[in-house]
A = this chain, B = another copy of it.
Amino acid sequence: MSFKVTILGSSGAMPAYGRHPSAQLVEIQNRYFMIDCGEAAQMQLMRLDVSYHRINHIFISHLHGDHYLGLMGLIFTMHLQRRTNDLHLYSHRGLDEIITTQLRYSQSSPSFRIIFHRLEKDERKIIFEDDAVTVETIPLRHKIRCSGFLFREKPKQKRIDKDKLPAGILIQQIASLKRGEDVLDENGNVKYKNEDHTLPARKSRSYAYCSDTAIQPTMVDQIKGIDLLYHEATFATDEESKANDTLHSTAAQAAIIAKMANVSKLLLGHFSARYKDLAPILEEAKPIFPNVQLALEGDEFTLQE
């Protein structure tokens, strides 16, 4: 089953060198989530031939322009294409006013419902949950209220070992086996012992998006052991004081967090316009956390089960 992160934008506050502002698409088991929606995100979706019709949930980390200015254009396009599905928007306070003000002056009434979900400052909270996925906020440290997002698959059921499927087994009995239970006969005796007919559940995958933030060690216990961490690395260490002043991170700081949290893989993004060449960003992270990669426009990162 799918778990894929597609990068639509890798740029920091200003677009530069063809890099676009922050936006990502996260596909988990055929659910499509968007994280941040910087300017021209809809053009990036079109360019990468990614369907935006199936996006029902958009998570906005914070209300700096490079993280949400593409949202209004995407909403207008969805409207023009006669979208009918509800669209859920998750954001700190203000996005509802920003969107509704613009709808009012354009005299537009979207063809679909927009449902605003307000995030709270410094809160860890599950803000989305269905039968397979949860999304949880990660408190970040930035100039304005800002949250990261932790996507987790829920624990999965055991898999039926098809080579060991008893003839005549009932659907309800298969469901019991998937839940990890033994199947009993009418006398209460074990008829099919679970471990004889099942394989272990596939692992539940996880992805955390942390941007924008100063280095924030309080997140470490929350993201401990996850599969994939996207952490902003606006600057290299030569600009560490600038990072401190603006509450951004260096690549080395991102790597330190990845190491402390013992994640499997680290992605770096949100690069300052001062860097044309991003090699120094990657190179300073590597010695601290070797399994690191730049997250650039069009890159796809698939997590294996």
Contacts and interface: CB of A to CB of B under 8 A. Distances in A.
Given A15-B46, A98-B101, A65 B69 contact: no
A232 interface: no
Interface stretch (A37-45, A169-177, A187-195, A199-207): A37-45
Interface in A36-62: 39-40, 42-43, 46-47
Contact of A143 (B16, B47, B94, B107): B107
Contacts of A69: 39, 69, 72-73, 76
B77 A73 contact: no
A13 interface: yes
Given A40-B40, A43-B40, A65 B102 contact: yes
A297 interface: no
Given A65-B106, A98-B101, A77 B40 contact: no
Interface string A242-270: 00000000000000000000000000000
Interface in A87-106: 93-95, 97-98, 101-102, 104-106
Interface string A80-92: 1100000000000
Given A65-B72, A76-B65, A101-B101, A15 B43 contact: yes
Contacts of A182: none
A111 to B, nearest CB: 14
A220 interface: no
A70 interface: yes
A288 interface: no
Interface string A1-27: 000000000000111101011000000
